[in-house]
Structure 1
Amino acid sequence: MEERTSDSASTPSTAAGKPYHAKRPHRKSRAGCRNCKARKVKCDEGRPVCRPCTVRGETCVYVVVPQRAPRTSTSSSPASSPDRGPTPSSIALAAGGRHTTVTQQPQFIPSGHHEIDMRLLWFYTTATYASFSTGTLKERSVDVVLKVNVVQHAFANPFLMNCILGLSAMHINHLGIKNMGISRSQEMQYRAKAFETYRKAVAAADPTTYPALLATSLLLCGLSSHVFRGEDAKPFSILDWLTLWKGIGAIIEVTHIPAVFRTGIAALVFRPAVDMDASARCLPSHLLFMVASIKEGDPDFPLVQKYYKALKFLGSLYLELRNGFSEKLFLRIVTFLTFLPKPFIKAAKEKRPRALVILANYLAFTRFKAGACWWLEGIAEQEIPNIYNLLGPEWEGLLRLPMASLLVEDNRALIRLLLDDPSWDEPARMEAESLTSESERGLAIRAAILEDTTPEVEAY
């Protein structure tokens, strides 16, 4: 290849052989008028009319350039003021020798919502969602569904959004986090609004809302659990709770199974299959005898098969229990009420003793410490004594185990009690906290309570 000489390289020329002259440098006009920018000519930025527009006799229009907000330090940001709650964009926490950043409050507030809504939505996506998660199961993994798909449906369906916000408010107050600025009265308002808008959506029966209705029917079961605790507690609330759980099945029937899978939230309503024969073999003999002893002429005789069916579903809990407290056992506990046949629920609402005995023995399983599932807490403590006091000494033997479960605070000890096996032990499966991810949920809760700088919220 022929080398270019320094002379030829230093003598630039055009294709026509004319000498090349570089453009004279000039200051760019960043605030020029619209006409000059369109013609790509330099504007002298004269006000109110620039010189080029004066020469051309055109109307001179300047583009208004918004000024940037001055930078402020973190300490002077309104987000950190005591009356607004903890609203920094992120907070760093030390976890296991590492620094983990937990995104705290969203800075964008969509139209139709206010800051408290977004605060509650943030808490749902970082902590409350885990109340309905069973960890990572081969058959069911719902974390992404709960944090992403459900929230997407919530922005399009206010009744689902109201449920999420009410559930988060309830969770915050359950944990006693005062600096989130959520009072008991606000919690009650969100909860009432959730139920009101849900009832209206069910009555409207708009097919486009079915996915959101399905998600709401599940979350409402947690939202309604306030009736088992504190001043809200009402005896035999478990009977109304049964109807809510069966409502999930009613929504599925309306939606149809194939349509449920197309919604992207089918994992929420997954129930592990039950081996009815194997489950029946695991049932305590005294419960089987309770049903087998029903004679013709007994008011419960027409319900014998329904009682047996309910007992077999209860047996699936005992069958799974042999492997220790696991994610699948927790899922079986949560979904148990959805399996119960309608005639059994009717018998329970009539407070028939055998139906209540079966419910009391189920409630003993809700005593397990299930990590993030805070809304199950207190249900057994409330309802088992109510059933015991109603039925009296005649049924005391069949209620011995549920009553004894109230005195147990350890998962291992509860398994030994339920299996009637004092030597049972499997430490590797006893950590209930493995059901959820502590790295995100735990740090989010710690971030929320890191600094309690707000005044006391209104007491309910």
Structure 2
Amino acid sequence: MPEDQGSSAPATAPAGKPYHAKRPHRKSRTGCRNCKARKVKCDEGRPVCHPCTVRGDKCVYLVAPPPARVSRSRTTSPASSSDSRPASTPAPASAFTPASSPDFVLVGRHADTITQQPQFIPSGHTQADMRLLWFYTTATYASFSTGQLKERSVDVVLRVNVVQQAFANPFLMNCILGLTAMHINHLGIPNLDISRSLEIQYRTKALESYRKAVEAADPATYPALLANSLMVCGLSTHIFRGEDARPFSFLDWMTLWKGIGAIINVTNFPQMFRTGIAALLFRPAVDMDASAHALPNYLLFMVASIKTDDPDHPLVPKYYKALKFLGSLYLELRNGFSHRLFLRIVTFLTYLPKPIIQAARERRPRALVILAHYLVFITFKARSCWWMDGIAGFEIPNIARLLGPAWAGLLRVPLAALRETDNRGVARLLLDDPGWDEPTDMFVEPVSPAGERELAIRALMEDDMAPEVQAYRARKLEVELC
């Protein structure tokens, strides 16, 4: 006969088997998504609970932990004990790297309630610092990522190793925070409360601390200096936009890119590999002969026609070398809008011979024509490198006005490219092939405005009511009811 429902223990136990009362436990109401789906008890360890750690699953929480909550994780790993860490202890990079969760997890009825922000503030930092660092590891880092290549995969380096170096080297932390503040304002996200004046303060502090670190030249800081030299190239692009914009800022910007090479020359490579920063050094090899054949004939003729009495004649070998590096972009473009093409575009300025940079600074026409054609390549919209936005549209007309009608024929393609609205139109101009189309077997899906990261960022903008954004919010806005 079945036992009475109100009984606390069975009347008898099966013969030969001792009775063990069921261990009482409190029902988990704020457990992770995976444990709820599996109907197992979640220990609610943050950022990764113990069951998900054991199974190697991605751990995603639907709601933020209660303010006074202390993790009950049965392990003592850094991932499961971050909530109990003293505020004065520097946080590990993983605490700011939501690698195992969606870009944004939104809870409640408003899109500005964000649960993926850091839950503590390390000593010496403000709440604004932590919001910026969170946004960097979620979105800003991607503007320096050129995708997955067999020789180079830097996403983890940018999100983890670089952040670890930043906590040990304040000048790098300042650069990350300044760059991210600029990114947030570039996107127009008011919810994160980063004003333009605060952006300027971060940027000023970043540039000043970087200058002092370069002057000190402490070998222990070389990995951080290398990472900083890359990011400062993005941070400094404010000189192309707004009130800070001034013609030919591009020439000063090139000098910053060449500074990366100067730091590489004094770098201790074993130290770079130990810190994980070495992946940032990768540049794709250039086939100089094949690149020369990929160049437009009119650019080659521009150099070949230099006479012996021309002031540019001593620079002819350097001009040819610069053109061959430019030709590697044309050669790669024939294969479509690949990750490797965009890596070549970003690293092009680091290849330029110093005499060509000096010639451009002296406003020599041929050097400026070469740079105008390079600027066309950074107009491609197949990757979200937001800090390059607007540079070509600002500087190509400046070059055309300076050189005047005598050089208008050699600037026809750069000026025409500014009127194109899509990648294919720009590529057809560069390749001088009206029928060119991207090879289907080499196609790489560009980052679209409707991509997951872009939707997550747009979901933070209260005034963005586009259907795809509302659909994204509907998926992410979840309220814990049981």
User: Scaled by the length of structure 1, what TM-score is found?
Assistant: 0.75
Q: Does 1:325 align with 2:337?
A: yes
Aligned counterparts of 1:102 and 1:289: Cα–Cα separation in 2: 57
Q: CA deviation at 1:180?
A: 1.0
- Aligned pair in 2 of structure 1 residues 394, 257: CA closer, same or farther (>3 Å)? farther
Aligned counterparts of 1:432 and 1:261: Cα–Cα separation in 2: 31
1:44 aligned partner: none
Structure number with greater Rg is 1
Task: Name stretches of at least 5 consecutive residues in structure 2 with no aligned partner.
Answer: 1-15, 17-65, 70-102, 108-112, 465-482
Q: CA deviation at 1:259?
A: 3.8
2:262 aligned partner: 250
2:81 aligned partner: none
Larger RCO: 1 or 2 (CA < 8 Å, sep 6+): 1
2:363 partner SS? coil
Alpha carbons 1:179, 1:449 under 8 Å: kept: yes
2:209 aligned partner: 197
Q: CA deviation at 1:228?
A: 0.9
Q: Does 1:130 align with 2:142?
A: yes
Aligned counterparts of 2:149 and 2:407: Cα–Cα separation in 1: 39
The residue type paired with residue 411 of structure 1 is N
The residue type paired with residue 189 of structure 2 is I
Aligned counterparts of 2:372 and 2:67: Cα–Cα separation in 1: 62
User: Scaled by the length of structure 2, what TM-score is found?
Assistant: 0.71
1:314-393 superposed matches below 5 A: 314-393=326-405
1:177 aligned partner: 189
Moved over 4 A (4+): 68-71
Q: Which segment is superposed worse, 419-428 or 396-405?
A: 419-428
Alpha carbons 2:104, 2:456 under 8 Å: kept: no
Write out per-residue CA displacement over residues 341-374 of structure 1, whole angstroms, 9 at most, x where no aligned residue.
Answer: 1111111111110000000010011110033210
Correspondent of 1:401 among 413, 429, 446: 413
1:356 partner SS? helix
- Aligned pair in 2 of structure 1 residues 115, 451: CA closer, same or farther (>3 Å)? farther
The residue type paired with residue 355 of structure 1 is A
Alpha carbons 1:372, 1:433 under 8 Å: kept: yes
Aligned counterparts of 2:395 and 2:164: Cα–Cα separation in 1: 36
The residue type paired with residue 175 of structure 1 is L
Correspondent of 2:126 among 90, 111, 114: 114
Alpha carbons 1:290, 1:354 under 8 Å: kept: yes
Alpha carbons 1:127, 1:444 under 8 Å: kept: no
Alpha carbons 1:412, 1:430 under 8 Å: kept: no
1:217-366 superposed matches below 5 A: 217-366=229-378
Q: Does 1:431 align with 2:449?
A: no
Write out per-residue CA displacement over residues 97-149 of structure 1, whole angstroms, 9 at most, x where no aligned residue.
Answer: xxxx9852101110000100000000000000000001111111110000000
Q: CA RMSD in A?
A: 2.4
Alpha carbons 1:102, 1:447 under 8 Å: kept: no
Q: Does 1:412 align with 2:424?
A: yes
Alpha carbons 2:382, 2:423 under 8 Å: kept: no
The residue type paired with residue 401 of structure 1 is V
* Identity, % of aligned positions: 74
Task: Name stretches of at least 5 consecutive residues in structure 1 with no aligned partner.
Answer: 1-8, 10-67, 72-88, 94-100, 453-460
Correspondent of 1:150 among 162, 167, 170: 162
Aligned counterparts of 1:447 and 1:126: Cα–Cα separation in 2: 14
Aligned counterparts of 1:245 and 1:103: Cα–Cα separation in 2: 37
Q: How many residues align?
A: 361
Alpha carbons 1:276, 1:312 under 8 Å: kept: yes
2:119 partner SS? coil
Q: Which segment is superposed worse, 164-173 or 293-302?
A: 293-302
2:105 partner SS? strand
Aligned counterparts of 1:423 and 1:342: Cα–Cα separation in 2: 37
Q: CA deviation at 1:336?
A: 0.3
